Structure 1
Amino acid sequence: MNVRTLCLSILYEGESTGYEIRRLCVEGECAYFIEASFGSIYPALAKLEDDKLVTSRTEQQDGKPAKKVYSITEAGRAAFAHELAQPLGEDMFRSPFLLFARFAHILPAALVEERANEFLQSTLDKRKHLEDAAAKRSCNASDTWVIDYGRAIMELAEQHMRSHMHELITLARAEPGKDAAE
């Protein structure tokens, strides 16, 4: 899966601007699929337009710069379906928190506890975000399945943190005055 396919997936559901696509990729329902930046979204949209898979129109806005609104073409719909039919790559999971946890033993216990609580709160926030997304929109069966999968992952992460956070904190240095680099 790539940014180009992600853009087609969003446009498959309806018109959108590059900014709206980016928002969906960062804080919206597409944030769980692949990472996409403005620096990758706009070139992907330009290439999709060159390939006649999307079209665009410019809309004037009062007191703001004009915005470019993208729509998927029939060729774009066919290309999207073709891309989905290709073999999938491996899922990627990256977690800065897990790197932090791996080296908890060199850090002060208070810091490890603080970061663990932040991670737990972030997990709870993500889970609530998924629940809100499900409640806000009329979901089809596929949307519901994906949201439920995300909920299950977040619930499991929450349970693990609540059950094992103390173990991580115990691994941390008991001497807060010591420099972690020692």
Structure 2
Amino acid sequence: MHARLTGNHMNVRTLCLAILNFGEATGYEIRKKTQEGVFSYFINASYGSIYPALTQLTKDGLVSCRPLMQSGRPNKKIYTLTEKGRQAFIEALQSPPGEDIFKSEFLMIMMCSDLVAPEKLSELIDARIKWLDDKVAYLRGVIEQVEADGVHFAVSCGIAAYESSARHLRENRHLVERSAGKALAGGKPSSSASSGETSCG
């Protein structure tokens, strides 16, 4: 009987198994992958949650750990996915995923554009477009280095999402720029309905 990962949806331990599915890694490397690169897009994992997850996975026999001796420096721990861990990960992949969570401080600012100075709003939009373009460039670099179809598919989905957002901003920025700052001078907020319930100003 295979060990089960707790919870109905994927968690930090599942993410660690996913990383190790592509090869052994140190705790530092696993932690870095959860904060940077393609694995950072899947599950929120704080720095402090990785090592407790690896400790529990080791206790459960889902990963193995061996020391790597280093001269003049602290020894490293190398984590490897065990067969038991591989089966647990496969089982987790068969479960329906949780809903994707999307939060955006940027969109909250855009929703209240009538309270943002015009020049500031334009700066924010320019910066966001550059950020999106940089994300696309980074992921295109990643996709050139992968061969697995699943990785290619996941990364290309990310590229499509970022490109779509950047295109939407370029094509529709005038909708918020024309209302920028109107409520600052006491004018009628551009987003207000007759009742005023949707106004930010």
SS in 2 for 1:69: strand
Q: Select the residue among 164, 170, 175 that pairs with 1:162.
A: 170
SS in 2 for 1:152: helix
Q: Deviations over 1:50-91 (max 9, x none)?
A: 101001112133443322111110000000001111121111
Q: Deviations over 1:66-120 (max 9, x none)?
A: 2211111000000000111112111111222112222222111111111111111
Task: Provide the aligned length of Structure 1 versus Structure 2.
Answer: 179
SS in 2 for 1:61: coil
Matching residue of 2:19: 10
Matched-pair contact (CA < 8 Å) for 1:24–1:30: yes
| Seq. identity, % | 39
Matching residue of 2:34: 25
Q: In the alignment, does 2:141 pair up with 1:124?
A: no
Q: In the alignment, does 2:117 pair up with 1:111?
A: no
1:166 alignment partner AA: H
Matched-pair contact (CA < 8 Å) for 2:115–2:184: no
SS in 2 for 1:87: coil
Q: Distance in 2 between matches of 1:24 and 1:171?
A: 41
Q: By how many angstroms is 1:174 displaced? A: 5.0
SS in 2 for 1:64: coil
Q: Select the residue among 79, 88, 91 that pairs with 2:88.
A: 79
Change (3 A) 1:107 1:86: same
Matched-pair contact (CA < 8 Å) for 1:108–1:175: no
Matching residue of 1:146: 154
- Give the structure with the higher percent helix: 1
Q: Distance in 1 between matches of 2:111 and 2:185?
A: 21
Q: Select the residue among 160, 165, 172 that pairs with 2:180.
A: 172
TM-score (norm 1): 0.90
1:162 alignment partner AA: R
| Alignment map for 1:57-76 (pairs within 5 Å) | 57-76=66-85
Pairwise CA RMSD: 2.1
Q: Which sections of structure 1, spanning at least 5 residues, go unmatched?
A: none
TM-score (norm 2): 0.82
Q: Distance in 2 between matches of 1:159 and 1:94?
A: 19
Task: Please tell me whether Structure 1 or Structure 2 has the larger radius of gyration of its CA atoms.
Answer: 2
Q: Distance in 1 between matches of 2:82 and 2:154?
A: 25
Change (3 A) 1:175 1:87: closer
Q: Distance in 2 between matches of 1:150 and 1:76?
A: 28
